[in-house]
A and B are shown apart, each in its own frame.
Chain A
Amino acid sequence: MAEGRANEAARHFRFRPAALSAPVVPAAPRALIGCGASPPRPVRQRADMAAGGADKFSVLLPTYNERENLPLVVWLLARTFRESGINFEIIIIDDGSPDGTQEIAEQLVKIYGSDKILLRPRARKLGLGTAYIHGMKHATGNFIVIMDADLSHHPKFIPEFIRKQKEGNFDIVSGTRYKGNGGVYGWDLKRKLISRGANFITQVLLRPGASDLTGSFRLYRKEVLQKLMEKCVSKGYVFQMEMIVRARQLGYTIGEVPISFVDRVYGESKLGGNEIVSFLKGLLTLFATT
């Protein structure tokens, strides 16, 4: 699998220059999410907690040189889950980061416990697509959350995802920067234009039924994610897009929650180069083959 850079380029194109038996939780007054401050921390009621009680959420955190971000994102995740009384585990897939990400991850295990934080490192940088597959093998939850570990994706949205999932009994809930209160921070006009333009072309050509194809902040039913991982041929750069396109083909339902995407504060972007070319290639491949 020639994954390395190509894969990265793909994700990148998210643009820098994305219950069952339990009674449906009465839809909480649609808290303003997205750009605003986080929704007033819900004073959860017992019933509400019970609703999530049977479910377990496994968060996959792929990391490569995220020494600074990792503890912060884990702290936010743990706080969010505890405050909403949700059963969770965090699976950290580190690809032998030279910056000591693993050392800090080990400290986190000591603080939070090895039942909450699972380290499933790999020896070297093998790319994101396979990192998800690797992490999923170790997941014990019935739902899986995929997000970046660089603080671009704020864990505060996960309860929203969960609420949305229950509301429509969705197979997938995707964060979207392009709808409602969703948005970005730290992007200049050019990057916004490319992002909007590429999104428009994608919508016209693929009509995917979801507004943010290149984002990677999503909630999946575990078996759905497994199935999709099997189906998705492009472990490369088109990965996130293909997941949604295939999901539609297989008849899975997709819910959307607006999210704010804040450009990474710490650490270096691992990407660059000809993202636009990679993106267009990926888009055309999907256009011609799905």
Chain B
Amino acid sequence: MTKLGQWLCGLALLGSAWAALALAPPGLRLPAPYRQALLPLPVYLLVAFGCYSLATVGYRLATFNDCEEAAAELQEHISAARADLRRRGLRF
């Protein structure tokens, strides 16, 4: 199954479970307090996922390494390479 398929399956499963519980006909309804909590659940989940995403990206952005040392080291390596190659007769 494609990733898209997996997502659709997952969403359909959760969605129908939610619909069955939250939107059941009057006779089969859950006790009112549960139902009250259940109705806005999809929105809560969406918001929670949004927050999680923002927090994760934000954290990773803040901790994205700046490789100053690697850049400095590369400069040294470049000089060494140039010197050695020139010595071996390379015409740049």
Contacts and interface: CB of A to CB of B under 8 A. Distances in A.
A197 B89 contact: no
Nearest to A33: B70
A134 to B, nearest CB: 26
B81 A196 contact: no
Interface of B is mostly: helix
B91 to A, nearest CB: 7
Contacts, number: 106
Interface string A38-81: 10000000000000000000000000000010011001100000
A214 to B, nearest CB: 15
Given A71-B90, A72-B81, A287-B4, A38 B65 contact: no
Contacts of A178: 60
A34 B66 CA distance: 10
A260 B64 contact: no
Contact of A75 (B56, B60, B64, B85): B85
A290 B7 CA distance: 12
6 A-B pairs with the lowest CB-CB distances in the bound complex, closest first: A183-B65, A260-B70, A260-B67, A35-B67, A75-B81, A185-B67
Interface of A: 34-38, 68, 71-72, 75-76, 104, 107-108, 110-111, 151, 154, 178, 181-186, 189, 192-193, 195-197, 199-200, 204-207, 260-262, 265, 286-290
